[in-house]
Amino acid sequence: MPDSYEKPVTEEELIARAKKGRVSLEELNKSIASEHYYNPGELHPLTICVLKLANGFMVVGHSAPAMKENFDEAIGRRLARERCISQVWQLMGYALREKIYQEEEK
């Protein structure tokens, strides 16, 4: 596998490549109305993140280490949030594609 596949994709690369609309990180962040984290005591060390979007839709992400001794609350929150963000990218990408499709069909 080429080395270029292993380095993270940057926002600058995505902006430079965009030909016809794209969801920006700024738009994604603006779509988040609130975020909530839970560590259910009986399910420790599970971390749950719920992002409520501006339109009222909610996405849920979670994280849990394989061993209780490896639990770190801050890392658990970041991982759970990343899983939520991945879902929001998909939802916003779908909405953008649907908008483009509707405009092309006119």
**Chain segment 24-45, per-residue pLDDT in tens:** 889 999 999 999 999 998 888 9
Q: What percent of the chain has pLDDT over 70?
A: 97
Residue 89's domain comprises 22-105
Asked whether residue 15 is assigned to any structural domain, the reply reads: no
Least confident of 33-37, 40-44, 65-69, 89-93: 40-44
11 part of a folded domain: no
Whether 9 is covered by a domain: the verdict is: no
Total of domains in the chain:
1
- Domain annotation covers residue 17: no
Q: Judge contact between 63 and 80, C-beta under 8 A.
A: yes
CA dihedral 71, 73, 75, 79 (to 10 degrees): 100
Q: Identify which has the larger pLDDT, 72 or 42.
A: 72
Mean pLDDT for all residues in the chain: 92
How far apart are alpha carbons 96 and 103 in whole angstroms? 11
Q: Tokens for 42? A: 């009986």
In this structure, is residue 69 part of a structural domain? yes
Per-residue confidence band for 78, with pLDDT thresholds at 50, 70 and 90 = very high
Tell me, what's the pLDDT at 1? 62
Q: So what's the pLDDT on residue 29?
A: 96
Closest by CA to 44, choosing from 63, 57, 20, 22, is 63
Decide if 79 is inside a domain: yes
Residue 8 within a domain: no
User: Domain of 61: which CATH number?
Assistant: 3.30.160
CA atoms of 38 and 61, how far apart (whole Å): 11
Distance CA 77, CA 52 (A): 15
The pLDDT, as a whole number, for residue 41 is 87
Q: Are 88 and 96 in contact (CB under 8 A)?
A: no
Residue 2 belongs to a domain: no
More confident residue, 9 or 88: 88
Instruction: Identify the pLDDT of residue 89.
Output: 96
